[in-house]
Amino acid sequence: MPTERYPRQTRWTGVPADGEDGIHFTEQNNLALGEALRDPVLRLV
């Protein structure tokens, strides 16, 4: 999945990006995952 299709601002809003499987992140998890998952990891998602 190309990263352009899943920009960071879209991925961490809690709303599934176009083409995602409806995975929702809570606002609290956004902060934790945002710290743990950086660009190299996001490219593999």
- pLDDT tens string for the chain (45 positions)? 445 555 555 455 555 555 555 555 556 666 667 776 665 555 655
Structure tokens at 22: 């409806």
Give pLDDT, residue 1. Answer: 45
What range does the domain containing 24 cover?
3-42
Give how many domains the chain has, as a whole number. Answer: 1
Give pLDDT, residue 2. Answer: 47
Q: Residue 2 phi/psi, 5° resolution?
A: -65, 140
Q: Residue 27 phi/psi, 5° resolution?
A: -60, -35
Whole-model pTM: value is 0.21
